[in-house]
Amino acid sequence: MPLDALAAVLASEAPAPGGGSASAAVGALGAALLEMVCALTLGKEKYREAEGVLRPAFEELHGLRAVLLAGVDRDSAAYEGVSRAMSMPKGTDAEKEARKVAVQSALRSATDVPLDVARACARALAHAPAVAANGNPNAVTDAGCGARFLHAALNGALYNVAINLASIKDADFVASRSAEAEDLRRAGEGSLAAALSAVDAALSR
Amino acid sequence: MPLDALAAVLASEAPAPGGGSASAAVGALGAALLEMVCALTLGKEKYREAEGVLRPAFEELHGLRAVLLAGVDRDSAAYEGVSRAMSMPKGTDAEKEARKVAVQSALRSATDVPLDVARACARALAHAPAVAANGNPNAVTDAGCGARFLHAALNGALYNVAINLASIKDADFVASRSAEAEDLRRAGEGSLAAALSAVDAALSR
């Protein structure tokens, strides 16, 4: 979908796509910027020493970008799954029970999809400090942009994890996903701080 | 340009589009999410009291989204202007002088375009606290995503302002743009903090 069309459909009254899909999109743009910095560094004699760190980062970032782009549609589909389950009939006790089971199942998907997006953002963001510190210094602000976008996208995805967890009755599911979400959030703070320090150090040189 | 194609061209070795264009894109997605929250609130009897605050916000956000979408291409064009000027001949003293003038002029454009993007992000972000506090509470996490994206985009655009200012010789230009950039950065921190507080308050209700 073209960027302007994506922005237009986000801006509309339709609740999906919403912040979850947009987080996946912003994460994909962040991963792409870190890839660009790697591409402007790898294979250049001048930055030979960066090869060992940036080559594996470049390859992982490429896969993460694809995961994040796929997350744009996956998140909207998961949201629609919840809406569909919510609109199931609730006339009889059997219908009520079937609806409850379907809603809970859809909510688990609508939690796990943004959690996948958050994981991919956190993994991409974990490369940002090394990309900023070892990448082509002419592109260090691009690494800074990439880190900031991934951090925002990570936290955006985690909002969507939290909001769905709030309606899930399975205590074990809630406990495991909450714990992972908190780990990802904390890792993201550390990666962002390290990346921004590396960018600031390069800019003040 | 489709989102996946934009991400692919960002990820490539081509230095433009880079972080400046990506910041404009992320800002547009952020503004769009705040618009969505307004759209899910305005005209609904239940949220009648929000009308006075959110109606003007909605209208301004719509215009800012357009400014930010236009910034995607404007930033790449400004970058290409600098590259073109840099590749001018420098054989004679006259050529050197003409090149210097052209490079300085192109750098001023390459500063003012991301500054326009930063201004639009800061203005959109300034609406985020009211959107989060007064908007449809079912969409409060979308307001949180929008605020985080606009903050990241603002700071991404400001990186591009700073990197171009570093090569500009006109001290008055540098002083005025640096001062405005710092004002925008600071305003953005305040708006983000207020917006995130409003989101957290709504989520813990």
User: For A188-203, what is the mean pLDDT?
Assistant: 97
Query: Is the per-residue pLDDT at A59 higher than 90?
Result: yes
User: For A54-70, what is the mean pLDDT?
Assistant: 98
Name the amino acid, one letter, at A60: E
Contact B69/A4, CB-based, under 8 Å? yes
**Structure-token pair, residue B47:** 């949220």
Contact A19/B199, CB-based, under 8 Å? no
Is the Cβ of A70 closer than 8 Å to some Cβ of chain B? no
Search chain B and give the residue with CA nearest A29: B7
Search chain B and give the residue with CA nearest A199: B159
Q: What pLDDT sits at residue A160?
A: 97
Which residues in chain A touch residue B7, judged by CB atoms under 8 angstroms apart?
28-29, 31-32, 65, 69
Which residues numbered 15-54 in B keep a CB inside 8 Å of some CB on A? Answer: 15, 18-19, 22-23, 25-26, 28-29, 31-33, 35-36, 39-40
Q: What pLDDT sits at residue B205?
A: 83
Count Cβ neighbours within 10 Å for each residue of A182-203 and write b for 16 or more, e otherwise. Answer: eebbeebeebbebbbebbeebe
SS3 A170: coil
Q: What pLDDT sits at residue B39?
A: 97
- The set of residues, in sequence order, having a beta carbon less than 8 Å from that of B78 and lying 6+ positions away, is B20, B106, B109, B110, B112, B113, B114
Spatial distance between the Cα atoms of B42 and B44, rounded to a whole number of angstroms = 6
SS3 B89: coil
Alpha carbon of B95: minimum distance to chain A alpha carbons (Å): 26
β-sheet bridge partners, residue A2? B2
Spatial distance between the Cα atoms of B143 and B65, rounded to a whole number of angstroms = 15
Short-list A29, A120, A19, CA closest to A79: A19
Which residues in chain B touch residue A203, judged by CB atoms under 8 angstroms apart?
162-163, 166
User: For A55-65, what is the mean pLDDT?
Assistant: 98
Q: What pLDDT sits at residue B15?
A: 84
Residue A87 near residue A130, CB atoms below 8 Å: no
Is the Cβ of A161 closer than 8 Å to some Cβ of chain B? no
**pTM higher than 0.95, yes or no?**
yes
Band of the pLDDT at A15, cuts 50, 70, 90?
Answer: confident
Alpha carbon of B56: minimum distance to chain A alpha carbons (Å): 15
Short-list A57, A104, A62, CA closest to A81: A104
Q: What pLDDT sits at residue B89?
A: 97
Phi then psi for B3, rounded to 5 degrees?
-55, -45
Which residues numbered 93-122 in B keep a CB inside 8 Å of some CB on A? Answer: none
Q: What pLDDT sits at residue A103?
A: 98
DSSP symbols for A29-98: HHHHHHHHHHHTTTT-GGGGGGHHHHHHHHHHHHHHHHHHHHHHHHHHHHHHHHHHHHTS--SSHHHHHH
Spatial distance between the Cα atoms of A55 and A76, rounded to a whole number of angstroms = 33
Search chain A and give the residue with CA nearest B43: A13
User: For A126-154, what is the mean pLDDT?
Assistant: 98
- The set of residues, in sequence order, having a beta carbon less than 8 Å from that of B116 and lying 6+ positions away, is B67, B71, B74
Q: What pLDDT sits at residue B166?
A: 95
- The set of residues, in sequence order, having a beta carbon less than 8 Å from that of A202 and lying 6+ positions away, is A132, A133, A137, A140
Low-confidence ranges of chain B (pLDDT < 50): none
Query: Is the per-residue pLDDT at A53 higher than 90?
Result: yes
- pLDDT tens, residue by residue, A75-119: 999 999 999 999 999 999 999 999 999 999 999 999 999 999 999
ipTM for the whole predicted complex goes beyond 0.90: yes
Is the Cβ of A1 closer than 8 Å to some Cβ of chain B? yes
